[in-house]
Structure 1
Amino acid sequence: MQTRAELTELTRRLVSVPSHDDETAAGDEIESWLDEETDASVTRDDAGNVLARRGGTGPTLALVGHHDVVPPDPSQVVGGDPDDTTEYVVEERDGRLYGRGTADMKGAVAALMLAFRDADLSPGPGISTDPGATGDPAEVGAPELVFASFVGEEVGGEGVRAAIDDGFVPDFAVVGEGSTNYSKSGVTDVVVAHKGRRASTVVARGEACHASEPERGVNAVYRACDAVDALREMEPPEADLYGERLSGTMAVTGIDGGSAWNVVPERCEVTVDERTVPGKRLFLEGLEEADGIRVRTDQDLPPMACEDGAFADLALDAAREGQDGDPEFVTKPHATDAGWLAAAGTACVVCGPSEPGEAHTKTESVSVDVLERCYRIYRGAAERFPAEG
């Protein structure tokens, strides 16, 4: 019961602090708690990320979250004005905590923090230490446990990219984004792959003229429509990972062209949302073979696939031990900071309390029971790390 009470209180503490346009105060809360509750080395980088380290200097396992959130609904703000925010509303009803960031993802951050503090890092049989090591976790060769909470995840992974640029590339990571109720109700699964997102703009250029003599110009809208037809003919790629089929998608989400009803347009833009899969993507550049067409990439969030089967198995074992249900390897349709870490060389899995449909809503909530479950999973993964062999 003590863990439940701590989880509830810490989640409430983190969620109440606004962090949709400035993550500083939320980072302060995390940093001060880590300083008070652990003997870890706690740092804050220039981007605002909070990092804490404990254990040895051997292989590194990172427990990863983010403390920024999307803008709140007025009902989620004390006083009701998101533009004049000093505190978010946090309520507990029927075993759930309600408020902006409870599910995505300050509840998970609280569970990660407690697991980071409580994990027993005593070397186990799978740990390779130097000859003559005493068994103290600080020995060279003993694993290092890292807690990381990033800023800017909701706007494209700004925090994690800054950390990677500064040299933060752990060997392994458990990212606490949502994986609950994916395979079935009542379980928290282990995500071994997720899609990325590439946002592109197809720019069509023509030559303007008076619409009464359209043959004198080149209609950019027509060129854009030809490009849309070519897009519709493209088959989104697929990837098979751990027995799961991950399918990409593509959707044209906007078109903008023309300046007046009597002018043949000289420019038209088409926005494209593409969900990418590991190792494959649509060949949008092929559109540029047509006259007057250029493709601009506006955002490219990388997909993720766990490249270390033994680590994935370790995480699944921890998930099985941490709950009564039967968790499975699953895939996730949303991009996360795990994609950036995986691209940098970290073997990642995603596991967390958020359920499909909870994040970014005005009724956002998280189950306290599931927060406890995730705490057990995170702690179990840390205490199993590294696997025997």
Structure 2
Amino acid sequence: MSDDDASGGPDDGTNAPATDGLRPLTRKLVSTPSHDDPTAAGDAIESWLRAETDAAVERDDHGNVFGRTGDPDAPTVALVGHHDVVPPGDSQVETADDGTESYVLAERDGRLYGRGTADMKGAVAAAMCALRDADPDGVELCFASFVGEEVGGVGARAAIEDGFAPEFAVVGEGSTNYSGEGVTDVVVAHKGRRASTLVAAGESTHASIPEKGENAVYRACDAVDVVRDLDFPETTVMGERVRGSIAVTEIDGGTAWNVVPDRCEVTVDERTVPGERAPLERTESVEGVEWTVDQDLPPMACSDDAFADAVLAAARDAQSGAPEHVVKPHATDAGWLAEAGTACVICGAAETGEAHTDTESVSYEVLDRCYRIYRGVAEDAGAFV
């Protein structure tokens, strides 16, 4: 039996064979460098969709790739991923004599190792195969792979601005091993991230006469005390508790040991939750302190219970474990889609702790499982449309 016909790992209770072509497609996408420039990976996705599917394929000006099949006048169910990756570790890249870089791949124990396997080219490949094989039930099935997810959702935001607005979306970021070992769950909410800077202004003077100036570090410390006393944001989504956090992570002020500083900057990391933000504006009650927001990646909460339940039912049908609705701690492109009005869940092969590591890997067995989930959602859409 060839590698592409093998079961890909321990039997998960479905007795389903490996998805036709999923392994070589995953290897192709993962082997294509896309940390500096995702163009080549986008080319590979586009050419495969045109050659292997009957979908209407589009590549927008931003580099995002789309494929659509089913009824264009029906509600749209999108299978969403991204093909950019974070920079590889030294062990994950090799350079040829001509200076050409390629990503190192390794296979062992039913897993594929390499940059982008878990985050998230494996799930992208599973979604592509699902688009090829699914017979959508009263919906338009859309595949979308974005650029720039790792740098703030650049591609997703651009697509939304251009009118990308599916009614439903399954975002293929990691949801495996959340409720239990070997289980692929369905994420119904995730945290966002708001990065802020507090700038405290003062008046410098010689350190021997501090009363002649205004110490910006002292003012910054007063603002830090305000942050420390704030309650963490918290909410509940579909019975699941989502609790954010606030932390001062950097402080920078002063120019010399004998000068009272006239400026001090404080960095604040806030993990936001759907519908809630910490009142960081209270820091401006401290004289001389200004608060600015540097980045605000939105949280996500699924807005459609029936859709979330239908994806969970598809996940149960695809595995022997007992998947659950869970919460994810990390921001994803689902936040931008949800903010724009799409009902979103997250379901994907990546396990907790795999993404962005030098030993990043994905299970072929779980990729097959994700393919079955994605296809099942499209073919049982009558449960939520």
TM range (shorter): over 0.9
Equivalent in the alignment of 1:299: 295
* One-letter code aligned to 2:218: Y
The alignment partner of 1:87 has SS state of strand
Name the structure 1 match of 2:57. 42
Q: Kindly indicate whether the alpha-carbon contact (under 8 Å) linking 2:18 and 2:365 is maintained by their aligned counterparts in 1.
A: no
CA distance in 2: counterparts of 1:110 and 1:10, whole angstroms: 6
Opposite residue 79 of structure 1, the aligned amino acid is T
- Once the two structures are TM-superposed, the CA of residue 240 in structure 1 deviates from its matched residue by 1.1
Partner letter of residue 311 of structure 1?
F
Partner Cα separation in structure 2 for residue 277 and residue 386 of structure 1: 31
For 1:78, what is the secondary structure of its paired residue? strand
Provide Cα deviations, 1:160-184, integer angstroms capped at 9, x if missing partner. 0000000001100000000000001
**CA-to-partner distance for each residue in 1:95-139, whole Å, 9 max, x for gaps?**
000000000000000001001111112x4xxxxxxxxxxxxxxxx
1:256 counterpart = 2:272? no
Whether the 8 Å CA contact 1:59–1:386 is kept in 2: the answer is no
The match for 2:84 among 68, 80, 91 is 68
By how many angstroms is 1:388 displaced?
5.9
1:131 matched residue in structure 2: none
Whether 2:116 is the aligned partner of 1:101: answer yes
Q: Please, which of 41, 45, 50 is the counterpart of residue 30 of structure 1? A: 45
Counterpart Cα distance in 2 of 1:7 and 1:370: 11
Q: CA deviation at 1:386?
A: 3.6
Partners of 2:18 and 2:346 in 1: CA distance: 22
Residue in structure 2 matched with residue 116 of structure 1 by the alignment: 131
Q: Does residue 1:322 correspond to 2:311, yes or no? A: no
Q: Distance in 1 between matches of 2:123 and 2:250?
A: 35
User: What is the one-letter code of the residue matched to 2:267?
Assistant: T
Q: Distance in 1 between matches of 2:66 and 2:20?
A: 24
Q: CA 1:314–1:329 in 2, change beyond 3 Å: closer, same or farther?
A: same
Question: Given that residues 199 and 272 in structure 1 are in contact (C-alpha distance below 8 angstroms), is that contact kept between their aligned partners in structure 2?
Answer: yes
Question: Which segment is superposed worse, 210-219 or 157-166?
Answer: 210-219
Deviates further, 343-352 or 53-62:
53-62
Q: Deviations over 1:74-102 (max 9, x none)?
A: 11012399xx5521111111100000000
Given candidates 219, 234, 240, the residue that maps to 1:244 is: 240
Question: Are 2:178 and 1:163 equivalent residues in the alignment?
Answer: no
Query: For the Cα contact (< 8 Å) 1:201–1:269, is it kept in 2?
Result: yes
Q: TM-score, normalised by structure 1?
A: 0.92
Q: CA deviation at 1:5?
A: 5.5
| Runs (5+) with no aligned partner, structure 2 | 6-16
Deviation at 1:229, TM superposition (A): 1.0
**Matches of 1:143 and 1:354 in 2, distance apart?**
27
* 1-structure distance, mates of 2:305, 2:177: 22
* Aligned-partner Cα distance in 2 for 1:369–1:329: 21
Stretches of structure 1 lacking an aligned partner (at least 5 in a row): 124-141
Counterparts of 2:213 and 2:181 in 1: how far apart (Å)? 59
Residues 307, 384 of structure 2: 8 Å contact kept: no
Query: Which amino acid in 1 is paired with 2:23?
Result: T
Q: 1:86 corresponds to which residue?
A: 101
TM-superposed deviation, 1:243: 1.6
Say yes or no: does 1:281 pair with 2:277.
Answer: yes
Residue 319 of structure 2 aligns to a residue in which SS? coil
Q: Structure 1's 324 and 333: CA in aligned 2 closer, same or farther, altered over 3 A? A: same
Q: Distance in 2 between matches of 1:374 and 1:256?
A: 46
Q: TM-score, normalised by structure 2?
A: 0.93
Which residue identity does 1:226 align to in structure 2? D
Measure the CA separation in 1 of the matches of 2:249 and 2:384.
48
Are 1:152 and 1:159, in contact at CA under 8 Å, matched by a contact in 2?
Answer: yes
Displacement of 1:219: 0.5
Query: Who is 1:380 aligned against?
Result: 376
Q: Secondary structure at the match of 2:308?
A: helix
Closer, same or farther: CA 85–363 of 1 in aligned 2, 3 Å: farther
- CA distance in 1 between counterparts of 2:75 and 2:270 reads 35
The answer on whether the counterparts of 2:198 and 2:291 sit within 8 Å (CA) in structure 1 is yes
CA positional deviation for 1:261 = 1.1
Bigger mean CA deviation after superposition, 208-217 or 359-368: 208-217
Q: How much identity, in percent, do the aligned residues show?
A: 70
Secondary structure of the residue aligned to 2:103 is coil
Coordinate RMSD, CA, aligned: 1.3
Deviation at 1:29, TM superposition (A): 0.2
Paired residues of 2:226 and 2:282 also in contact (CA < 8 A)? no
Count of residues in Structure 1 that have an aligned counterpart in Structure 2: 368
CA distance in 2, matches of 1:273, 1:169: 30
Separation (CA, whole Å) in 2 of partners of 1:94 and 1:72: 22
After superposition, give the CA deviation of every residue in 1:236-266 in whole Å (9 maximum; x if it has no partner): 1111112211101111110001111111111
2:75 paired residue number: 59
